[in-house]
Chain A
Amino acid sequence: MREKPGIQHIISINDLDRSAIDTLLDEAKVIQQATSIERSLDGKIVALLFFEPSTRTRMSFAAALSRLGGTSISVDSIEGSSISKGETLADTIRVVSGYVDAIVLRHPCEGAARLASEFASVPVINAGDGAGQHPSQTLLDLYTIREAMPLDGIDVGLLGDLRYGRTAHSLAHALSNYDVRLHTIAPNGLELPANLVEQLKEQNTEICEYDSMEEILPELDVLYVTRIQRERFPDMASYAAVAESYRVTPEALGDVKESLAILHPLPRAGEIDPRVDALPYARYFEQAQNGIPIRMAMLQKVML
C-alpha cells in the first residue's frame, strides 16, 4: 500500500524539513498572537483514535480542534473498539475515514500511524505510536525553545532516560535541522542509542556525551529533562540512587546562563525539584500550554 496522493499527513518529525517545521511554528505563533480565533475548521469532524492511554495529548487535540470550530469523536481504548473483536487497524482506519475529515491516532505499535496513512482517505496525524514518533510533542518542544531563543547557534542538553525516551530522540532529530550542539547526560545503560548518535553525526550534528550534568550545565542554553523510569532498574535502591544524581534542583542551577530554558515533556516524577518551578528557567508548563497553538496549526495544515 502507498499513501493516497493529495492528502497531507503528519506522521514523523523526520518527514518534515527545516522549512516545513519553521512554517508550522510560524503558523502556531500567528494563532497564539491572534486576539480572536478564526473558526477555520467549522463543520469539520476529527476522529481521535486513542488505542493507548493518554490524557493530555488527547485533551489538547480536542481543545485545539474546538478552538478552531471543529468537532471531535473519539475512541479511548482498544477494549472499547472493534479492534478488541479482532478487526485490523487497517480496516478500522478505512471505515473511520468515511465518517470524518481527519484522524488523530495514538497506538501502542510503532509504525501504526504510517500504516494508517496508507489506508486512510483522510489526513492522519500521529499522536504517538508506541516508542516511535510523536511529532506534535517535538513541534511544541521546538516552539517553546524558539519562543525563548533562536534555534540556531545554541547548546542543548538532553538529560535523563535517553535510551527509551522517544521525545528526546525526536527532538534530537528535529534539532539536527538547525545549527545546534547537543550534549547528552544519561545514567549508565540509558544513553542515547548508538545508531541514533551515528545518524545525528551523519547529519553533521555536533554531539557530546556526559556522565553528570554539573560539568556541562553552565554551557547550556536549553536543558531538556526526561523521566527516568523505575522499571528500567533492577531494584528501588539503584533507581533512587540514579534518580537523585540526575535531579534538577535550584542548587544545581547555581552557575547556569541567565537565559537557560528548562523543558520537560511532562508528566514529571521527581526529576525536577518543585522549587525550580518558581525560577525563570522553568518553561515546562508554558511548554505544555504551547501544545494548543501547535496542534491547532497541525490540524489546519492537514485540513485546509
Chain B
Amino acid sequence: MSDCEPRGLLIRPIRNGTVIDHITPGEAINVIRILGITGTTSECLSIATNVNSKFSGTKDIVKIENRELSKEEVDRIALIAPHATINIIREYQVIGKIGVEIPSVVSGVIRCPNPGCISNSNEPIKSRFAFNNGKLRCLYCDARISTDIASHII
C-alpha cells in the first residue's frame, strides 16, 4: 500500500509535511497555485473542498506530504485565505501551528493587471504589491487590485 492511498477517511493523516486547514471554501486550488505547486508535482498532495466545518460551515483543506512550508510561503496564503491555519506534521504529530499573517508587501505572487507596467516586461524584477485593507497596490505603477485577487496570481 502506498503512502497516499485512502483508508476510509476523507483525507487520511500524513506522516510528515504540512496541513493547511480552514481555507476559505473554494480557494484550495488557488492556495496550491500561490505555493507554486503545479499539476506535475511529485509531492503527495491531498485536496478537500467544501468540507463540513464546526466553526465556519464549510472549509477547504490541503495536505502536502514531505514539505514544511516556510513563514513567507504561509503568509502569501493570507491573501486569499486569511483565516487559514497551518499545521506542521512530523511522524503524524502536529509539531507546530502557524497562523497566517497578511504581509505588508507581496513579492512575485501577483501579476500586475496594468499591461503597461514595467513589472510585466522582461526586466529582472519580481512584481511587488503593497497589501492594505484587503487591497493590493503595485509598487511600480500604482495599479490597484481590490477584487478577485486570486485571478491575478502568477
Q: What is A's interface to B at a CB cutoff of 8 Å? A: 1, 12, 14, 88-90, 107-112, 114-115, 118, 129-133, 195
Contacts and interface: CB of A to CB of B under 8 A. Distances in A.
B119 A111 contact: yes
The 9 A-B residue pairs with the shortest CB-CB distance in the complex, in nearest-first order: A111-B140, A110-B141, A111-B141, A111-B118, A109-B118, A112-B118, A115-B118, A114-B140, A130-B116
Q: Identify which of B114, B119, B121, B142 gathers the most chain A CB atoms within 10 Å of its CB.
A: B142
A109 B123 CA distance: 11
B139 A131 contact: no
B110 interface: no
B4 interface: no
Nearest to A131: B116
B54 to A, nearest CB: 38
A163 to B, nearest CB: 14
Interface in B86-132: 114, 116-119, 121-125
A90 to B, nearest CB: 5
Contact of A88 (B114, B123, B139, B143): B123
B125 A132 contact: no
A132 B67 CA distance: 42
A35 B139 CA distance: 42
21 contacts: A1-B125, A12-B142, A88-B123, A89-B121, A90-B125, A109-B121, A110-B114, A110-B118, A110-B140, A110-B141, A111-B118, A111-B119, A114-B139, A114-B140, A115-B119, A115-B125, A118-B125, A132-B142, A133-B142, A195-B144, A195-B146
A206 B121 CA distance: 37
Given A132-B141, A132-B142, A110 B117 contact: yes
Contacts of B119: 111, 115
A180 B33 CA distance: 45
A112 B146 CA distance: 23
- Which residue of B117, B119, B138 has the most chain A CB atoms within 10 A of its CB atom? B117
Contacts of B143: 110
A198 to B, nearest CB: 9
Given A132-B141, A132-B142, A110 B116 contact: yes
B116 A90 contact: no
Contact of B124 (A14, A90, A129, A132): A90
Interface of B: 114, 116-119, 121-125, 138-144, 146
A195 B143 CA distance: 10
Given A114-B141, A115-B118, 18 more contacts: A14-B142, A90-B123, A90-B125, A108-B116, A110-B114, A110-B116, A110-B117, A110-B118, A111-B141, A111-B142, A114-B118, A115-B123, A129-B118, A130-B116, A132-B142, A133-B142, A195-B144, A195-B146
B116 A89 contact: no
B128 to A, nearest CB: 9
**Most central of A12, A14, A109, A111 by chain B CB within 10 Å:** A111
Contact of A115 (B140, B142, B144): B140
Contacts of A111: 117-119, 138-142
A283 B145 CA distance: 38
A130 B122 CA distance: 17
B142 A89 contact: no
A76 to B, nearest CB: 20
Contacts of A12: 142
Contacts of A109: 116-118, 121
Nearest to A115: B118
A246 to B, nearest CB: 26
Contacts of B141: 110-111, 114, 129-130, 132
Nearest to A111: B140
Contacts of A112: 118
Given A111-B138, A115-B125, A89 B118 contact: yes
